[in-house]
Amino acid sequence: MSDVAPTMANGWSDRGLGLRLADLHGRITAAQTRAGRLRERVTLIAVTKTVPVERILAAAALGLTDLAENRVQEAREKRERLRMLAEQDDFTAQLMARLHWDLIGHLQTNKAARAVELFERVQSVDSLRLAEALSARAEAQGRSLPILIEVNAGGEASKSGFAPAEVESTAQAILALPALRVEGLMTVAPLAANPENVRPVFRALRELRDRLRVALPPQRATWDELSMGMSDDFDVAIEEGATIIRIGRGLFGERPVPHAAPPSA
């Protein structure tokens, strides 16, 4: 078996990543099969927080072009570094042009402008104030920004996101904002030793989305997306209707522990 020859020449190759990706694709298909969802799209988003740009390019060379970061500053530094690498060769420039970036971490309102510049979509809209700021900044930049509304579906005090009961009224207010397009809902499920334990959380999010789709006016919203499921629970999330899964460790391996992170993070 050849070792991804064309990408090897550029150095953007990562054999372990290729093997984990193949394994993930198998598990995604298996979950879709169990749920009778083989014909439906499930988008695998590679969560690249703490991952260096060289590995991000290796992922892109394997077709993983939907990426997510959870911090504006880290994303900004990576985009800058990628731009420098892209100036040095065409292959890297072509890979970079295909990348699509989502923001999935809590965003401070005062960083809304930066986020609109750096990200194609914001999944972590967790307050009306933030939605208003994003809409204003997107409008100023002459674009419409796709967003997901983050729901604290597990009801954990430590997590951001709207309580399920407040999503409908908030969504109504968000739909009135001119420069946002609501694509659906996002959640981070509680940590569970057994992913079966979070199945009700995923199911509740899907049911909430289905209700909103009927209850709210269709302008500025599609409600197509359910972003739920991470490395430890994505199989169950797909069975419950996830259209987007966000995978970090399952692709790139364990992240460095926070106190070992470089001081610039």
Interface residues with ligand PLP (CB under 6 A) are: 47, 49, 70, 104-105, 188, 230-231, 246-250
Closest C-alpha among 162, 155, 258 to residue 212: 162
Cα 204 to Cα 37: distance, rounded to the nearest angstrom: 18
End-to-end CA distance of the chain: 39
User: Based on CB atoms, which residue is closest to ligand PLP, 17 or 175?
Assistant: 17
Cα 102 to Cα 159: distance, rounded to the nearest angstrom: 19
Structure-block tokens of residue 182: 């609501």
Cα 199 to Cα 233: distance, rounded to the nearest angstrom: 9
Cα 4 to Cα 80: distance, rounded to the nearest angstrom: 27
Cα 136 to Cα 176: distance, rounded to the nearest angstrom: 12
User: Based on CB atoms, which residue is closest to ligand PLP, 144 or 160?
Assistant: 160
CB of 249 to ligand PLP, least distance (A): 4
CB-count burial class (<10 Å; 0-12, 13-18, 19+) for 263:
exposed
User: Based on CB atoms, which residue is closest to ligand PLP, 164 or 250?
Assistant: 250
User: Based on CB atoms, which residue is closest to ligand PLP, 126 or 239?
Assistant: 126
CB of 19 to ligand PLP, least distance (A): 17
Say whether 184 sits in a helix, a strand or coil: strand
User: Based on CB atoms, which residue is closest to ligand PLP, 146 or 250?
Assistant: 250
CB of 163 to ligand PLP, least distance (A): 18
CB of 10 to ligand PLP, least distance (A): 26
User: What residues are paired with 162 via a beta bridge?
Assistant: 151
What's the length of the chain? 265
CA torsion 16-22-27-29 (nearest 10°) is 160
What string of DSSP letters covers 227-244? E---TTTHHHHHHTT-SE
CB of 157 to ligand PLP, least distance (A): 17
Cα 205 to Cα 164: distance, rounded to the nearest angstrom: 8
User: Based on CB atoms, which residue is closest to ligand PLP, 116 or 230?
Assistant: 230
CB of 69 to ligand PLP, least distance (A): 9
CB of 63 to ligand PLP, least distance (A): 18
User: Based on CB atoms, which residue is closest to ligand PLP, 49 or 209?
Assistant: 49
